[in-house]
Amino acid sequence: MATIDGLPTLREVINAHDLVAKRQLGQNFLLDLNLTAKIARLAGDIAGSDVLEVGPGPGGLTRGLLIEGARHVVAIEKDPRCIAALHEISAAYPGRLTVIEGDAMEIDLSGLLTPPVRIAANLPYNVGTELLIRWLTPKVWPPFWTSMTLMFQREVALRITAKPGDEHYGRLALLCQWRSDAKIVMHLPPEAFTPAPKVHSAVVHLTRLEAPRFPADEKVLNRIVAAAFNQRRKMLRSSLKSLGPDMEALLDSVGIPPTARAEEIALERFCALARAYVERGA
C-alpha cells in the first residue's frame, strides 16, 4: 500500500523489525501517518524549528514531523530494537533526522538542538509527567524549548489544563499555567493506538511564557502550593499552618478567605500569597 511519504507502512516496519510492543516501555504505537501528520501540524512552526521527539518507536510521529517540514528532528529512543527502523527514515530525509539511542531521562541535550526548539512526543506514560515537570522547571527561565506538543493519558491532560473548582485542579495545573499557555488540542480514543491502551488520550500544546504569568519566588510558591494541595479538602488556615503562625493573617492580607480550600484558589492568588510570604520575612 502506498504511504504519503513513499516509505513502507508502519505495520510493514513493525513486522520487518519484529517490534512487538513492550508494555514496560509504554509502547502504544500510532500507525496512521495522516493522524501523526495532523499532530505534527499542531506543533506550530516546525519548518523554522528543531524538534525534540522522545520515544519515536517505529517512527510514526517522526515521519509526520518530517512530512510536515520539520527543519531538524532529534529523536531519543530507549528501545534498541527501534533504532534500525529509525535509521531507515533518516536515510530518506538526509540531514534532517538525528536518532539517539538512550534514556531521555539521562541524555544531555546540550549542543544537539539549535533554537528555536519545539518538543513533540507521544510520550511513554510511565515517564511523561516527570519529563514535563523537568522541562517546566529548568535552572533558568526561559527554557530551551518554545512549545511542547505532548500526548498524555486524558486524565493527565485534564490535570494540566484544569481551572479552579475542577476536580483535576492541583499542583500540575498551577505549575503548567504559571509558566505556559496550555490547552488540549486533540482527543484520541484507545483504538487510535496499537496495541490499544485501557485509557483515553489527549494531546496538550504548551507555549512557554517569556516570564512566569505572575511574579513569585519559585521555591516559595512551590512550598505553599504543595502544602495547600497535600490536604486539598482542608481549609487553607489549617493546611498552611505548618508554614508559620501568621498564615491566617497573611491569607486575609491577599484577599483569600482562610476558610477557603486549595482547589478554589486561582493561580494569581497563590502568587500573591507567595509574595506576601516573602515580604513579611519568612
Is residue 25 at the binding interface for ligand SAM, with CB under 6 A as the rule? yes
The residue (of 44 and 128) whose beta carbon lies closer to ligand SAM is 128
- Residue 27 as a binder of ligand SAM (CB under 6 A): the answer is yes
**Of the residues 12, 45, 103, 155, which one makes contact with ligand SAM according to CB under 6 A:** 103
Q: Is 256 exposed, middle or buried (0-12, 13-18, 19+ CB in 10 A)?
A: buried
Candidate segments 24-32, 141-149, 159-167, 266-274, binder of ligand SAM by CB under 6 A: 24-32
Provide the H-helix boundaries in the chain.
10-16, 33-41, 60-67, 83-92, 125-136, 154-161, 171-179, 218-230, 236-239, 247-253, 267-279
Contact call for residue 44 and ligand SAM (CB under 6 A): no
Sign of CA dihedral 243, 245, 248, 249: negative
Which segment (54-62, 132-140, 240-248, 255-263) binds ligand SAM by CB under 6 A? Answer: 54-62
Question: Could you give phi then psi for residue 18, rounded to 5 degrees?
Answer: 55, 50
Dihedral over alpha carbons 81, 82, 88, 90 (to 10 degrees):
-130
Instruction: Give yes or no for residue 70 binding ligand SAM (CB under 6 A).
Output: no
Cα(79)–Cα(75) distance, rounded to whole angstroms?
12
Asked whether position 128 contacts ligand SAM by CB under 6 A, the answer is: no
How many residues are recorded in the chain?
A: 282
Please report how close the Cβ of residue 44 comes to ligand SAM at its closest, in angstroms. Answer: 18
Is 45 one of the binding residues for ligand SAM (CB under 6 A)? no
- By the criterion CB under 6 A, which residues form the site for ligand SAM? 25-30, 54-57, 60-61, 76-79, 82, 103-105, 122, 124, 127
